[in-house]
Amino acid sequence: MLFVLSLFQSLKDNYTNLPGIFFSMQRVVLHVDMDYFFAAIEERENPELQGKAVVVCMLSGRSGLSGAVSTCNYIARESGIKAGMPCSKAKKLNPETVFLPARKDFYTLVSDRIMEILRSYADVRDNEDAFEQISIDEAFVEITEKTGGDFNLAFNTGIRIKNEIKEKEQLTCSVGIGPNKLIAKMTSSVQKPDGITVISPDKLKSFLWPLKVSKLWGIGDVTAGKLQEMGIVTIKDLAEYNVIDLISTFGKTRGIWLKQAAAGIDDSPVKEREGSEQIGRIATLPEDTLDINLISQLLDRLTEDVISKLDSRGLSFRNVTVTVINSKFKMYTKSRTLNHPAYSKEILLEVTREILGEFLSESRTEFRRVGVRVGELQKRICQKSLLDY
Ligand code: DCP
Ligand code: CA
Ligand code: CA
């Protein structure tokens, strides 16, 4: 028996590309969504907000409450306040509400730290983390290898993640665990806030099929409307619908996707979106200024932060963007694309200073904030292979 097992193991090690049917492990994907993210950060920063209705606003900057609700805490939600609604309407729904302006750069920094925690739990495949951030407060983490395909172990991983985020950031999140991204994503919103839900393959249909088609991740209002016209109400109805008829209404790709998604099938990998990731830092100058020395000092510090983040992940960049916000709160950006990937601090400093020089030659209004951001990131080619050339 032992012999057979070790023969199997050695076959598996030597032929990793053998058809999945022989050695495939049950996939386990975890999805994390932070709870009332922007408002939760504000609550954490100011304990006096505890117990009050809190709304974070994208203020238009014109007068008083002229913006829209970016998000709100659960107390505010009890009065019917929702993201996207005018702040003036939110005020009418609950006059006691505390309104705060959104501080997106700050939330992005908190998000970056959370993403680093999540990434550390991901499987590593071909030297890449099986990790995918999909928005400022959401990410997928593939944990197939780390759990050996075991959903009980996956539940423990989910709890560990929640605890680590709570301990390090004093924030709660909701976790969904499933056999693929589609199910994990739909599962994380089942228990919110501070929840964790596991849908293992044996529970997949009883979870998915009673839901309305509009709940299927990837179906928008237009598709939901068309499906309704076709008499398709639940996801079960969709799963049982003739695929040829779906294709004739929605086209081949979409028709097949609908049929498969309704059966809970999703083979898309958890993968950093190629080129989509950026690393950036932004900060406020000690005073509004056009003094190149003062601005360079801050920009150099931000550059160092960016480089140390690139170093820790072994990444290079090809694109550099410098942002300035002037004392009238107008924002300007300029970018450069290098003709080869780079990762040295000197190159990044040189490019950011060059762009800064251009900004300074064009502006008469003092700068208030500056930022630097790198994009088109990729894994560095190791030193050895560079020497080989
Ligand atoms: N956001 C925004 N405008 C919107 C929706 C969201 O500015 N119309 C921002 C604020 C949110 C963050 O994105 O805090 C994350 O969005 P979510 O949809 O995940 O909502 P929350 O995290 O705020 O709440 P929930 O607990 O429902 O996830
Ligand atoms: Ca959220
Ligand atoms: Ca979200």
Pocket of ligand 1 (CB under 6 A): 33-38, 70-71, 83-84, 136-137, 192-193
Which letter does DSSP use for residue 189 in this model? T
pLDDT tier for residue 2 given thresholds of 50, 70 and 90: very low
3-state secondary structure of 324: strand
Q: Which residue has the higher pLDDT, 267 or 64?
A: 267
195-209: average pLDDT: 98
Catalytic residue among 42, 138, 142, 169: 138
Instruction: Quote the ligand 3 centre to 135 CA distance (angstroms).
Output: 6
Residue pLDDT, tens place only, 295-305: 999 999 999 99
For 275, the token pair is 């080129």
For 364, the token pair is 């008469």
Residue pLDDT, tens place only, 120-156: 999 998 777 899 999 999 999 999 999 999 999 999 9
Q: What is the pLDDT of residue 276?
A: 66
Under a CB-based contact definition with an 8 Å cutoff, are residues 376 and 275 in contact? yes
d(CA 310, CA 37): 26
% the chain with pLDDT above 70: 90
Q: What is the pLDDT of residue 16?
A: 43
Q: What is the pLDDT of residue 381?
A: 72
d(CA 122, CA 304): 27
Q: Would you call 304 a catalytic residue per the annotation?
A: no
Q: Which residues surround ligand 2, an ion (CB under 5 A)?
A: 33-34, 37, 137
d(CA 31, CA 177): 6
- Residue 309, H or E segment: helix 292-313
Q: Where are the alpha helices (DSSP H) in 120-242?
A: 144-147, 151-169, 181-188, 204-208, 221-229, 235-240
Residue pLDDT, tens place only, 315-329: 999 999 999 989 987
Q: Which residues surround ligand 3, an ion (CB under 5 A)?
A: 33, 137-138
Range in 148-152, 277-281, 367-371 the model is least confident about: 277-281
- Report the half-sphere exposure of 59 (CA within 13 A, side-chain side): 13
3-state secondary structure of 10: helix
Q: What is the pLDDT of residue 23?
A: 63
Instruction: Quote the ligand 1 centre to 43 CA distance (angstroms).
Output: 15
Q: State how far the alpha carbon of 89 is from the alpha carbons of 42, 58, 93, 355, in Å.
A: 21, 14, 6, 43
Q: What is the pLDDT of residue 274?
A: 60
Q: In this structure, which residue's CA is closest to atom 9 in ligand 1?
A: 70
Strand partners, 98: 54
Instruction: Quote the ligand 3 centre to 300 CA distance (angstroms).
Output: 33
The strand pair at 131-135 and 124-125 is best described as unpaired
pTM exceeds 0.95 for this model: no
Indicate whether 269 pLDDT > 80.
Answer: yes
Q: What is the pLDDT of residue 108?
A: 85
Indicate whether 253 pLDDT > 70.
Answer: yes
Using the atom order of ligand 1, give the atom closest to the CA of residue 39.
Answer: 14
Q: What is the pLDDT of residue 280?
A: 86
Using the atom order of ligand 1, give the atom closest to the CA of residue 35.
Answer: 26
Instruction: Quote the ligand 3 centre to 137 CA distance (angstroms).
Output: 5
Q: State how far the alpha carbon of 298 is from the alpha carbons of 79, 205, 284, 309, 347, in Å.
A: 44, 55, 9, 17, 17
Indicate whether 10 pLDDT > 50.
Answer: no
Under a CB-based contact definition with an 8 Å cutoff, are residues 317 and 343 in contact? yes
Indicate whether 369 pLDDT > 80.
Answer: yes
Instruction: Quote the ligand 2 centre to 35 CA distance (angstroms).
Output: 5
Ligand 1 mutation target, pool 42, 137, 174, most atoms within 8 A of CB: 137
d(CA 205, CA 224): 20
CA torsion 62-65-67-72 (nearest 10°) is: 150
d(CA 213, CA 219): 7
Indicate whether 4 pLDDT > 70.
Answer: no
Residue pLDDT, tens place only, 165-175: 999 999 999 99
pLDDT tier for residue 223 given thresholds of 50, 70 and 90: very high
104-128: average pLDDT: 88
Residue pLDDT, tens place only, 60-78: 665 677 789 999 999 999 9
% the chain with pLDDT above 90: 73
Q: What is the pLDDT of residue 59?
A: 77
d(CA 233, CA 229): 9
- Contacts of 152-161 with C-beta under 8 Å, sequence gap 24+, read 154/28, 154/30, 154/198, 155/196, 155/198, 157/30, 157/121, 158/30, 158/196, 158/198, 159/196, 160/121, 161/30, 161/32, 161/117, 161/118, 161/121
Indicate whether 18 pLDDT > 70.
Answer: no
List of residues 6+ apart from 293 with CB closer than 8 A: none
Under a CB-based contact definition with an 8 Å cutoff, are residues 172 and 74 in contact? no
Q: State how far the alpha carbon of 265 is from the alpha carbons of 50, 130, 257, 261, 371, in Å.
A: 42, 19, 9, 5, 42
Q: What is the pLDDT of residue 201?
A: 97
Q: What is the pLDDT of residue 313?
A: 85
d(CA 326, CA 306): 22
Q: State how far the alpha carbon of 42 is from the alpha carbons of 39, 86, 207, 224, in Å.
A: 5, 20, 34, 36
For 32, the token pair is 């994390």
Q: What is the mean pLDDT of the chain?
A: 89
d(CA 319, CA 351): 10
Indicate whether 35 pLDDT > 50.
Answer: yes
Indicate whether 189 pLDDT > 80.
Answer: yes
199-225: average pLDDT: 95
- Residue 100, H or E segment: strand 98-101
Minimal CA–CA distance to 359: which of 325, 328, 385, 327? Answer: 325
Indicate whether 38 pLDDT > 50.
Answer: yes
